Structure 1
Amino acid sequence: MNTEDYWDVAADHFDDEPDHGLRDPRVRAAWAARLLAWLPDAPSDVLDLGCGTGTVALLAAGQGHRVTAVDRAPRMLARAREKLAGSGARVLAGDAVEPPVGDGEFDAVLVRHVLWALPDPAKALRRWAGLLRRGGRLVLVEGRWGEADPVGISADTLAELAAPLGGQVRIEQLAHDPALWGREVHDERYAAVVRPAPPSRHAEIVDVHLILRRGGDILLGRRAGTGYGDGLLNAPSGHVEAGEDVRAAMIREAYEEIGVTLDPAEVRVALVMQHRAPGGDTRVGWFFEARHAPGTGGEPENREPHKCSQLGWFPLDPLPDDMIAYCRAGIDAYRAGQCFLLHLHEAGDPIAYDPGGPDRAVPLSWSRT
C-alpha cells in the first residue's frame, strides 16, 4: 500500500484520535492556545501542509488567519473541504514537499506529523522556507512516538536539520501537557518554531572596462601571470573599490594600467552588462568609451608588465578572436549599438571567446521615456 492509499484508508477513523479530531473541547482549547503562541498575529497567511482532515487549519481560520490547506490523499481532502466549508480557507490537492503554491506567499507554514515520514526532510525544510515571506516562520509539530520501539524524529535531529536555514530555532516540549493529547503520554512530542534567516541581499562585484579608441582601432592588452584568461586579449579593466563611483574607478584604472589620464568630461558610458562566469559567480561590468588623441592624456604604456605581456592597438572591426569572452561580448554589443546586456555563461563554457561556440549575450531593451 502506498502512502496516499494508507492515508485514504485512515481518513475514516483519523479524527477518532483526541489530538486529530479535537472533538473534546478541552483538547481543542489546548491546541488553540498553542496556535496563538506559535503563529503570527492574525490576520496572516498560513499554509497547512499535510492538513489531514483540516482540524488544525480550521482552528487557524477561526483565529482570523487566511488559511491554505494542502493534502494529497483524496479522502482526507474531502473531509477537510467539508470541515472547512464556510471558513474562508482554500483546500488544495498537492504534495507536502512541492505544494501547488508560490514562493514567498506565506507568513507561516504549519506542518504537523509530516516531516518525520519524508525521505529527505532537509530538502523539505529548504523548500518550505522558500514559501515564506521575509520574517516568516515554520511551525513544525513532531515527535518520537512509542516508548519500546519509537518512530519519528527527535527534537535534536530536527534542530540540526533546521540549522542550515540560519535564524532561530525554538523547541517547545509538549509531552508533559496531557490536555493536548487527551491523555498522559510518555514519549517525545514537541513543536519547533523555526524563523529562517532572511535571504542575504544580492551583491556583485562591479568592474569597469575601457574602450579606448584611436580611429578604427581600440587598445587591448594580453593578460599574463594572473591565473585568469592568461594569454588572451582584454580591454584595460579593474574592480571598483569601496567608496568609489564607476567613472572614478575607470579613470584610476586607466592611469594605473596604461598611464593615460582621462578627462572625466570625455569618458562616456558605452554599455552596462551583467556577466556570469562559467563557475556561477556574477558581476556587473561598466564599459566606458574614450577617444585617444596624440598629445592628450599621455601615450598608453604597459605599466603592469607582471599582469600584461603585450599592449597594442587592434582593429575594432574585425576584432581579434583570441579574447576573453566576457570582454569580447561587451565590445561586440558596443559595436552593435546596444546599451544593456546579459552575458550568462553556462557551466563548462570556456573563458576564452569561441567563434563557433554558443552566443551567451542577451541584449536588454530599454526605454528613453
Structure 2
Amino acid sequence: MPWTTRSDLRGPVLAYLERHPAEHGELEDLLAALDTGTDPTCRATLPGHITCSAVVIDRDRRVLHIQHKAGGQAPAPGGHLEAGDQALLAAALRELSEAAGIAAGELCLTPQLLGMPIDIDVQRVGGSPAKGEPADQHYDVRFAFYLADGRPGTTPEAEEASGIEWRPFEQVGSPTLRAKLLDSALDGRPEPVNASVLIFDDQGRYLLHLRDNYPDICEPGAFALLGGGRETVDRSLEETLRRELGEEVPGLALRVLEPFAVERAISTEGLSVPVQVFAGRWNGDPAALRLCEGVLLHWCPPELLHRLRLSDSTRDLIHRHAKQQALAPRPRPLPPSSGGGTALTVIGAHLYLEDDQGRVLLGLRHPDSAYAGNTWHFLAGHCEQESAVSCLVREAFEEAGLVIHPADVEFAHAVHLVDRAGDRPRMQMVFRAHRWTGMPEVREPDKCLAWQWWDPDGLPAPVVPYARAAIDGIRAGRTYTELGW
C-alpha cells in the first residue's frame, strides 16, 4: 500500500463507526483486512476491497448523480482507488473530477461532517455461482461536499456517462445514503470550517507563525496566521481557535477574540476552505512562549510584510486590519470616579459550575494573593474592556483550561458589596455554565493552587464570604444579595 498508511484508512472508518455503531458488524471484515497484510485498496483483493464516492450537495438539498450509458444506472460519482491517491477523500475527489468535470476547488467540506464519511455501503458486485466465481464485495466509502459557489459547470465523462442528474434527498439512489441524508441537517450552504487569528499589539505589529517546510501541509515554509481546522467536538469556531492555540502555543491566551472577516483558502486536497478570521490584542514576548508546531513566532509591522514569504491573501488581510485599527479611536481609560461624589462600581464575573453530582467548583487561592489568600473562591476575574460574559469565558480558559461557549452561559446571581467603609463598591456577577469542555486544571499557579468539586452542604473553610452568599442565594432561588452596606 505505497500511497497511504493503514492509519489513514482506519481513521475514517473508525470515525464513521463512532457515529454509526450499529454498522460495526457489516464492516468487521474490512477492519480485519486493515489489521492483516492484505491491501484493501487494491481492486484485485478478494473477497472485498475499498471504493470511494463523492456526494455533492447543492443549495436546494439535491445530490449529483451520473447517468451511466451501460445499465441505465445513475449513482453518485465514484470508483476504485489508484496509486496516485493520497487518501480516501482524495480518491473521491479524483473520481468526481473524472466523472463530472468538477474540480476540488469548486467544493468545500460540510461543517456537519468535515472530512468524515457520510456513509460506508457494503456492495456485492458480480460473481457467477455456475462457474464457482465468488461475488466481489465493495466497501464504498462516501464523502459529502458542498458547492463552494453556486452550481459549477459539469462535463460528464463521454465514454461512460450520458449526463448528470440533481436528485432531492428522498430520490437518492442508494438506500443507505438516502437514509443518512434524510436524517441529517445538511443544507448545501457553505460555512467556515477553519479559524485563524490576527494577533496584534499596541505598537501595530502582527504576530506571524513560520510554518514547517513539509510538503504535505498548507503553506509549507511560509509565514502564516495561527489557527486550524474545526473538529466535530468543537461547538463554535471560537472554541476551535482556542483549542488550536492551546495545542500550538500553550500559554498564549487571548482575552478577547472578535470576528473580523471570512476568507477563502485552499486545502492540501485542493478544496475551497472558508476561514473565519478573528482578531485579538496581545502584548507579550513570543520568545517566552513554548511553540509546539512550526519554527518560530515573530512580531512584524505591516510595512515589512513585503519582505516575508506569505500568501497574498494573508498580506492583504493584515493591511486591511491595520488600516481599520488606524482609523478606529482608541478607548479612553475610565477615571476612578466621576464628579458629584458618584463612585464607579468594579464589575467582577464569576463562574458557578456544577458537576453531574451537583458539586460546585471552587479554587484554593495562592497564599500570596493580594485578595483572599489561602481561601476557596469561584473562578473569577475583573471585567476589562469587555462584556461580563466575555470576561467569564476568557477567565475560564486562562485559569482552568475550560472552554465555554457564551450561548451556554446564563446569569445566576449578583452580590453588590463594599468590603470596608470607603472602598469602591463591587458588583460581583455570578454566571452558571450548563455545558463546557475540558477538565479543570491549574494554569496560573501563582494565583490558584488547586481546583476541587465541593458539595454545597459541605463547603470547605475558609470560603470568600460573598461566594458563600452567592451559593446560598442560588440554591434558594434568589438572584440578588447585598453585603457590607
**Which TM-score applies when normalising by structure 2?**
0.29
Q: Quick check: which has more Rg, 1 or 2?
A: 1
